[in-house]
Structure 1
């Protein structure tokens, strides 16, 4: 197409080609909406690239703001391995953290968990449907993942949470004593008290490959990918347009699915949610000798996860509160790497030349933002998934596509509506 020409054939432009954006575009295309997926980078190379690779059916309880003063003191002093903050971020975090603390009050949190669980309940089935259609079954591994507990007290505490998850939300788990954990993961160090094996989740052996498999299916169904800057989004007549690679692309509707970068586009349009970022790091390791990790293992005491991937064993860190575009500061990786070598003596040497860093888009009420934009006809939002972008991508795509085409959504979308902020 010649530079400066206009494409009026698209029904929808989806901004953002992470797992959420690709899933939204794919579901829209399947429902007959001619869709253009738009991003400045290749699909899956943003935050979707780096995660623990889990479709977390068990994640019915989102990450709450700590309310125990001893735990809060540990975070305030930057002594926790699972959390680290940049002091320069504190003024910008005051508003979202105040709201985060408010929504984490036990009664409010229980109501939020009920809404969250309604989405999580569909995640595995929604992924399996797309995986089968995309022919990407080799990227999934059944068997769930395990929380490794060092002490009997830690094991008892996490078993209590597991029992509540099973009782209230039908989540499957298996209690492992020290011997059972050693049998399941023989290359972890001896002496652990045991663990909780969540049996419903599915591991993804290469999250980038999965996103690209969904993209390939989207394109097979007639969808189109275009490169460009989402900040060029403007209202044009009765619809929306973006400019990419010298081509103006117009459509009746647009979807913002840019993760942590979504406010860059929504704020000029009058929507500025109290989104904040939890950055995370990962590094791959080459196991020594015959050492193997059969399934992902989370070190409860250390606050990190080891996950077997096609690239090696991936070590993922907790949350870093920093500007999404700030240079990497892998403090947490430096803290937990020795712990990971203690947990798995055969973990081996680093494979990657440097640590990867990505930005998780989080909301103060721990629920994603899914639905029509306030005061902007034909504009829709699908972002703010926090730690569960990979888990909830296809479910978000199915729900938002249904809403946009007048169909019944998979669950009541009221709790996720953008105008709640």
Structure 2
């Protein structure tokens, strides 16, 4: 089968790229080993983070580093055997997380974040997926005054620098917004300009259905069989194209290495589990218990409990000790019923040390494009990434300057 472009990867980024190309008259096939939205894009907290102008940085203060070194923190755990391999990445991550460098990164990163909600809403309308969308923001909840006041100061700075809207919920206001949350969460910052979805995999599936309705093809295949220029093996035979977009999330590094690139990609692992809510209990917003480090989100399947970060080899077996540690805490905050999943879900977030995705042309291959490394913001940035790749390929001026995100920055 011959098409104009093959997109390798059927997550939120790859599906968005394919859809935006197909809408611009490019004949596209998506190739993945699973149906769209059933790998990394399945397991996030469902946030579309308009407030996320500062990507998640590495802690640099001694107290935090000492706490994580003991490997008993609820928000970050690590596999000791993986640390030697990850050390160069972690050192660069720590370097880029210094306050002044982080602020410079935010100036570039915010140009993507600015389009996150608007691009999703447009695609959601086109795909008929409005039932999955919530536009009431999300809440970051606190137990102590000191940490809460620090977060309010941060939110005020973000509002001043980037126009990020928020409101403060305390006492009765928080109880009114979330009557089923325990009073141990005493106050919160609500980021009202952000959206969320009740089924991230379902949203990707809706975008993929729209892609197919307008002529795109979704194929099951093995991206590792890619050969320049450009062929890949699928269950229905060989797919050939003039150009390829590599959007394989945490598996992107395997293929870029095969093609001769050495990019500093690592993964942050994470887990989730769904629970029933006890009779009469409600959760109206995604809610972060900020001082413990977990999030609960109302989903189609139930209440999703998501963990923080686990540092380890990408393909190591599941070690859901974080989930085991936070479940009792989460049950004391919200009235969970029984578990709804047979086992915890494990996902892998694709990360770069400067916290910014790789978006743009491959430096040494004609008609090869990169779209990966979105870390915690894959769902947030999928549609704008798709638009930028599609604009670049079809000769339009990209909506956002892509120079900060090119692969040759490394």
Deviation at 1:246, TM superposition (A): 5.3
Q: Which moved more, 1:385-394 or 1:71-80?
A: 71-80
Deviation at 1:230, TM superposition (A): 0.2
Match of 1:132 in 2: 125
Cα separation, 1, equivalents of 2:52 and 2:376: 10
Cα separation, 2, equivalents of 1:328 and 1:54: 24
Q: 2:408 aligns with which of 412, 416, 419?
A: 419
Match of 2:252 in 1: 262
Match of 1:60 in 2: 53
Deviation at 1:402, TM superposition (A): 0.5
How many residue pairs align between the two structures? 410
Q: 1:390 aligns with which of 379, 394, 404?
A: 379
CA distance change for structure 1 residues 115 and 319 in 2, over 3 Å: closer, same or farther? same
Match of 1:114 in 2: 107
Match of 1:352 in 2: 341
Cα separation, 1, equivalents of 2:56 and 2:378: 14
Cα separation, 2, equivalents of 1:48 and 1:324: 16
Alignment of 1:369-408 (within 5 A): 369-408=358-397
Q: 2:301 aligns with which of 286, 308, 311?
A: 311
Q: Secondary structure at the match of 2:182?
A: coil
Deviation at 1:77, TM superposition (A): 1.2
Cα separation, 1, equivalents of 2:56 and 2:62: 17
Deviation at 1:191, TM superposition (A): 4.2
Cα separation, 2, equivalents of 1:201 and 1:340: 23
Deviation at 1:232, TM superposition (A): 0.5
Cα separation, 2, equivalents of 1:336 and 1:395: 33
Cα separation, 2, equivalents of 1:224 and 1:20: 16
Match of 2:230 in 1: 240
Cα separation, 2, equivalents of 1:297 and 1:74: 24
Deviation sequence 1:123-166 (CA, Å, 0-9, x none):
00000110000111000011101011001111101101111111
Cα separation, 1, equivalents of 2:311 and 2:116: 27
Deviation sequence 1:321-360 (CA, Å, 0-9, x none):
111211111011011111101111x122211111001000
Q: 1:368 aligns with which of 344, 357, 362?
A: 357
Which residues of structure 2 form unaligned runs of 5+? Answer: none
CA distance change for structure 1 residues 94 and 191 in 2, over 3 Å: closer, same or farther? closer
Whether the 8 Å contact between 1:179 and 1:194 is mirrored in structure 2 is: no
Q: 2:146 aligns with which of 129, 132, 153?
A: 153
Deviation sequence 1:54-109 (CA, Å, 0-9, x none):
11101111111111011001111112111010001111111111111111122111
RMSD: 0.9
Cα separation, 2, equivalents of 1:215 and 1:347: 33
Match of 2:166 in 1: 173
- TM-score, normalization by structure 1: 0.96
Q: Secondary structure at the match of 1:339?
A: helix
Match of 1:47 in 2: 40
Q: Secondary structure at the match of 1:381?
A: strand
Deviation sequence 1:223-269 (CA, Å, 0-9, x none):
1011110001001xxx3110112511110000100000001111011
Deviation at 1:178, TM superposition (A): 2.2
Q: Secondary structure at the match of 1:131?
A: helix
CA distance change for structure 1 residues 191 and 331 in 2, over 3 Å: closer, same or farther? closer
Cα separation, 2, equivalents of 1:117 and 1:76: 31
Cα separation, 2, equivalents of 1:189 and 1:211: 33
